[in-house]
Amino acid sequence: MAVATATGLSSAEAAARRADHGPNRLPEPRRPSAVRRLLGELTHFFAVMLWVAAGLAFIAGLPQLGVAIAAVIVLNALFAFAQQARADRAAERLRALLPTRVTVRRDGRRRIVEAEDVVVGDLLLLESGDRVPADATVVMANRLLVDTSMLTGESEAAVVDQDQTLYAGTFAVEGEARAVVVAIGEQTRLAGIARLTTASPKPVTPLTRELQAVVRLVAALAVGVGGLFFLISLVVGNPLRDGFIFAIGVTVALVPEALLPTVTLSLAWGSEQMARRQILVRNLDAVETLGSTTFICTDKTGTLTQNRMSVVEAWTPSGSVVVDGVGYEPVAGLTWSRPAAREACTALALAAMRCSTGYAVQAAGEWTAHGDPMEAALDAFARRLGIDSDEDRHRHHSVLRFPFDPRRRRMAVVFDGEAIVKGAPDTVLPLCADGEQVRAEVESMTSRGLRVLALAVASVAEGLARTPDDVERGVRLLGVVALEDPPREDVQEALAVCRKAGVGVAMVTGDHPATASAIADQVGLRRPGDPVLVGSELPSNDRILAAHLDHDGIVIARVSPEDKLRIARALRSRGHVVAMTGDGVNDAPALHEADIGVAMGRSGTDVAREAADLVLLDDAFASIVAGIEQGRATFLNVRRFLTYHLTDNVAELTPFVVWALSGGQFPLALGVLQILAIDIGTDTLSAVALGAEPPARHLLERSPVTGRLMNSTVLRRAFGLLGPLIAGLSMLAFLVSMAAAGWRPGGPFPTGHDLLAASGAAFLTVVLGQKANVFACRSSSQWPGALGWTTNRLLFPAGAVELTFSMVVLLVPGIAVVFGQAGPPLAGWLVALVSPAVVLAVDALDKRLRAGQRREARESRRLAELLRISRRDQGS
C-alpha cells in the first residue's frame, strides 16, 4: 500500500483505517469459562455413570448411598479442577510480546501512539531497544540488527536491510529504521503462530483412552448383571418393585465409585514426585503420557548443552593458549604453547571483546551472560587474560559499527582508527594475506565440535569508512578463538538410557546444521550414518516425511514453527507418542500438537511454558528421562489399583450370585451399604497408596509400557485368583458364623442378630483379605517380601486408618445396625484373621509357579533356537 514515507499517514486517514480494520491486537483466546470447565469435570462419561448410580440409589430407597456417591463425584471434580486450574494461556502471553506504545510519523511529525492504534500504512520509526508492533516492510535502515529468536529459534541477531520484512514481536538490538506497516493484529506472523497453537485440540492421552475403555466395560457389566438379577428376582417370585430395587442395588454395588478419585490422586502423587525431579506438571494426564513416550524431539541449547559458552582455545601466529574453565567466571587455568604467545593472545582477546556487545556480569556471587552468550564468553576470555573490560568500555567507544550480516557471516567495528573484523573463518581468512597458515588449526578445532571465530584488524583513515567493504581492505590476521557450549554431564548417560528404554531421540533446532550435528555427535545422540536434515528441504508429502523422520538419532536443523508442527504430526502418524521440547514462541504450536509438550523453565518464554504440559525447571534432558521413569511407574500403579478394585467387585458380587443360584433362599452375606463401606471407606486409601508405589529398578531397561490397561494379567489376577479367593474366604466366614449360631445345611437360616453377626464376619473377612491383597497387588511377579514390606511408606498408615473405620462401622452398635451387620462370633473372627495369611500364601505360590513356567518357556525357546541353528548348519 502506497504511503508517503517522508510524512507518513494523516491522522484522519489513520483513524479511518482503524475504524475499518480494528485495533492492532492479537486475537483473544477462546477458552471455556471456569464454570464450563468445572461442569466438564462433573459430566464426563464416568461421572455421568456415577450420577445415574446415585439417582438409582435414591429410587431404591438408599439415600445414604446416593449422597455418598454424589459426594465422591463432587469432591473428585473439585480436586481435578484445582489441579488443572492453569488453563492454556498461550495466546494471552503472546499479546504481552507487543509493545504498549510506539513511535510513528503522522501528519509529517514524529508522534508516540498506543501500539493498538497502529494501522496498515503507518510509518514506524524504530531505534535500538524498540520492539516491533506489527509486520512491516523496511524503507530505510541504518545498521539495523534484529533479534528474531522468539520466532525463528536462530540464536544470532540478523541484519535487516531495505525492502526486507520486520515481524511483530521481534526486537531491534542495534541501529535504526523506518518501516511501513503491512499487517496488524490477526494478520501478523505472530498471530499465525497463535492460530497454529490453538488450531487443533490436544491429543487424547493413552491413559484417558484406556480409562474410558475400562469405565465402559465396567458400566456394561454392572448394567448387564443388574438386569440379569432383576430377571432372576422375578423368577424366584419376588414382587416387581422388590426385584427392581434389588437389581439397582446390585448395579450400584458393581460401580467402582472410588476408581475415579484414586486415578486423580495417583496422577497428583506422580506430579509431586516429578516436581522433586525438577519437572513441573501443568496437566495431570501428562504424568502418565510421559511414561508412554516412544519418541523425544529435543532442542539443543540448554537442554543437551549447558547454555554456557566458553573460550577453550585460541591461536595466534605467535603461539596458542588453552583455557581450562567453563562459564563466565574470570578465573581459569591458562596453558601457553610458548611465552611469546601471551602478548599476541591478549591483543586477540581485546579485539574480540571490543567487537562484542554482550558481556559477563557478576550477580549474587555468580557470573552470568548479559546479552549474547557467545559474546559474553569473549568478554570472560579477555578478563582471564587480565584485561579490565569494564574500564576499556568506559574509556574507548567504537565510532562505527557494522552488525553481523548472516549473508557475509561477519561483522566489523572501528576503534581509534583501527577496524576489527570478526566472523566465520571461511569468510574472514580469505580477506587476510596470511590466512592460509591457520586453516589446518581451524579444521582441527571444528572437527572437535568447537565453534570457531576468526579476527583480523586493519588501519582505517578517519571518515573514509562508510561501508563494510571500506574497513575490510588490507586486514591482517590476529588469530582465531574456539568456543564450546559444553554438553551437560548427564546427557550421554540419559541418551543411553533412552535407547535401552526403547525411546527414540531426535534433535530439532533452529540452529545451523553443522553446529547441530557437531553437538549431536559430541553428546552421542547422532551415530555414524544417522541423517541430518534441513527444514527447508523436508519432503512436502506427509507420509514420506514421516518415514524419513522415524529414525532414532536424526538431526533436523533450521526448522520453522510450521516445520516443528509437521514433525510432531508426522511422528504421531507413525504411532509414536511424541514428547516435544521447546523454549521460544516459535515452539508453542508444536508443544501444543505433540502428545506431551515440554518447555524450558530457565530459558523458556512464558508462551512456551503456557503451551506445554510439563516444564523442566532445570532445562536438563536428563530430567525428561527421570519423568519417563515416573510416568511408567504411574501407568503400572493404575494397573495395580485397578486389579485391587476389581478384586473387590468379585468378592462383592459373589453373595448375590449365591443368592440367585439358591433361588433367593440363601441369605445375602453382604448388603449394598456394606459394599459401599468397603469401596469408599476401607479400600480407597489403600488404592491411593498403591498409586504411590515407587518405580521399579527395571522400568527403563525395556520398551515403553503399552497395551490395554485392563490386560490379561489384570483380568486373571482379579477374576481368576485374588477375587475368587477373597470371595470364598468371605462366604466361608459367613457360613462358619451361621453354623456357630446353630445353622445346619438344609435347616432354617438364622435371623436377627445372628444373621447380622454372620454378615459382619463376611464384611470383616473382605476387609482383612483386601489389606493383604494390597501388598499382593504391588507386583504381578514378586511377593511382597522381595519388594520390602516398608518400601511403600503409605501402605501401613492407609491400612491403619481403614481398619479403624471398619471397626467403627462393625462394632459400634448404632452405626453397625445402619450398615446391616454386627460383631462376628469367635468362629467368624478366626476365619477373618486367618484370611490375610491365606491370601498372601496363595498369591506367593501362584507367582512362584508362574515364574517357573516363564523359565521353562524361555528354556524351550532357547533350545528351539539352538535346534534351528543346528539344522541350518547341517543343511549348509
Question: Is the model's pLDDT at 75 over the cut of 80?
Answer: no
Distances (CA, A) of 774 to 532, 691, 769: 50, 11, 9
Which residues are bridge partners to 581 per DSSP? 598
> Mean pLDDT throughout 223-244?
78
Residue-wise DSSP of 796-817: HHHHHHHHHHHHHHHHSHHHHT
* CB distance 380 to 310 below 8 Å: yes
Could you tell me which residues come within 8 angstroms of residue 204 by beta carbon, excluding any fewer than 6 positions away?
none
Residues facing 400 on adjacent strands: 414
CA nearest to 46, candidates 210, 204, 216:
216
φ, ψ of residue 772 in degrees (nearest 5): -75, -35
Say what the pLDDT of residue 27 is: 67
Q: How many CB atoms lie within 10 A of CB 8?
A: 25
| pLDDT at 690 > cutoff 80 | yes
Largest Cα–Cα distance of the chain, in whole Å? 122
pLDDT (0 to 100) of residue 87: 36
- Residue found under cell 602478548: 343
275: cell is 516436581
Query: What is the average per-residue pLDDT within 485-505?
Result: 89
For residue 500, what is the DSSP state? Answer: H
- Residue 162 has a CB neighbour count (10 Å cut-off) of 13
Alpha-carbon torsion (514, 515, 519, 520), positive or negative: negative
DSSP 32: -
**pLDDT, position 199:** 55
**The predicted structure's pLDDT at residue 668:** 85
Q: What is the DSSP string of 585-648?
A: GGGHHHHHHSSEEEEESSS--HHHHHH-SEEETT--HHHHHHHHHHHHHHHHHHHHHHHHHHHH
Question: Lowest-pLDDT range, 64-73, 633-642, 739-748?
Answer: 64-73
One of 88, 122, 285, 299 is an active-site residue; which one? 299
Helix or strand or coil: residue 502?
Answer: coil
Among 88-97, 285-294, 360-369, 822-831, the range with the most confident prediction by mean pLDDT is: 822-831
Residue tagged 587480565 (cell numbers): 386
Mean pLDDT of 618-637: 86
pLDDT at 626 over 60: yes
pLDDT band at 462 (very low <50, low <70, confident <90, very high): low
Give Cα 773 distance to the centre of its chain: 33
* Distance of alpha carbon 305 from alpha carbon 308, whole angstroms: 8
- Bridge-based pairing of strands 319-324 and 504-508 is unpaired
Assess whether pLDDT exceeds 70 at residue 204: no
- Write out the three cell numbers for 377: 564468553
- C-alpha closest to that of 757 among 697, 824, 693, 806: 824
**What is residue 32's predicted lDDT score, i.e. its pLDDT?**
65
Q: What is the pLDDT of residues 634-686, one digit of tens each?
A: 888 888 888 888 888 888 888 888 877 777 788 889 887 888 788 878 888 88
Kindly tell me the sign of the dihedral angle through the C-alpha atoms of 708, 712, 716, 717.
negative
Q: pLDDT at position 800, please?
A: 93
The C-alpha angle with vertex 637 and arms to 631 and 643, in degrees rounded to 5, equals 150
Residue 418: its H or E element: strand 418-423
CA 760 to chain centre: 48
Model confidence at 388, pLDDT cuts 50, 70, 90, reads confident
DSSP string, 159-226: E--TTPEE-TT-EEEEEEEEEEEEE-GGGSHHHHHHHHHHSSPPPPPHHHHHHHHHHHHHHHHHHHHH
Residue with cell 539352538: 866
pLDDT over 50 at 104, yes or no = yes
Query: Helix, strand, or coil here: 820?
Result: coil
Nearest Cα neighbor of 457 from 487, 395, 413 is: 413
pLDDT in the model for residue 28: 62
The CA dihedral of 275, 278, 283, 285, to the nearest 10 degrees, is: -80
pLDDT of residue 118: 92
Residue 305 DSSP class: B
Give the residue carrying C-alpha cell 568456543. Answer: 483
The cell numbers describing 362, all together, are 557478576
Give the chain's length: 876
The better pLDDT of the pair 85, 417 is held by: 417
Helices 259-276 and 45-59 meet at what angle, rounded to 10?
140
> Can you give the pLDDT at residue 85?
53
Residue 95 has pLDDT above 60, yes or no: no
- β-pair type (319-324, 171-183): unpaired
pLDDT at position 749 is: 87
pLDDT reading at 316 higher than 70: yes
Specify whether the CB–CB gap between 201 and 31 falls below 8 A.
Answer: no
Are the beta carbons of 612 and 599 closer than 8 angstroms? yes
Among the listed residues 556, 591, 594, the one whose alpha carbon sits nearest the alpha carbon of residue 576? 594
Residues contacting residue 691 through CB under 8 Å, at least 6 positions apart: 262, 263, 265, 266, 269, 270, 634, 637, 638, 640, 641
Cβ neighbours of residue 179 under 8 Å, at least 6 residues apart?
Answer: 123, 124, 126, 132, 136, 137, 138, 139, 166
φ and ψ at residue 605, rounded to 5 degrees: -85, 160
Q: Which is more confidently placed, 861 or 166?
A: 166
What is the overall mean pLDDT for the chain? 82
| Average of per-residue pLDDT across 556-570 | 85
φ, ψ of residue 811 in degrees (nearest 5): -110, -20
Is 299 catalytic? The answer is yes
Pairing state of beta strands 310-316 and 295-298? unpaired
- Helix or strand or coil: residue 582? strand
* Interacting residues of 336 by C-beta distance below 8 A, sequence separation 6+: 319, 320, 321, 342, 345
DSSP 487: B
The single-letter DSSP state of residue 537 is G
Mean pLDDT in residue range 195-212: 64
Distance CA 644, CA 774 (A): 7
Q: How many whole angstroms separate alpha carbon 337 and alpha carbon 315?
A: 10
120-162: pLDDT as tens digits: 999 999 887 678 889 999 998 887 878 776 666 555 667 788 8
| 836-859 average pLDDT score | 88
* Arithmetic mean of pLDDT, 76-83: 67
Across 96-100, 489-493, 746-750, least confident range: 96-100
pLDDT at 89 over 50: no
Distance CA 468, CA 688 (A): 69
List, for residues 11-52, the tens digit of each pLDDT value: 899 999 999 888 888 766 566 677 777 787 787 766 777 787
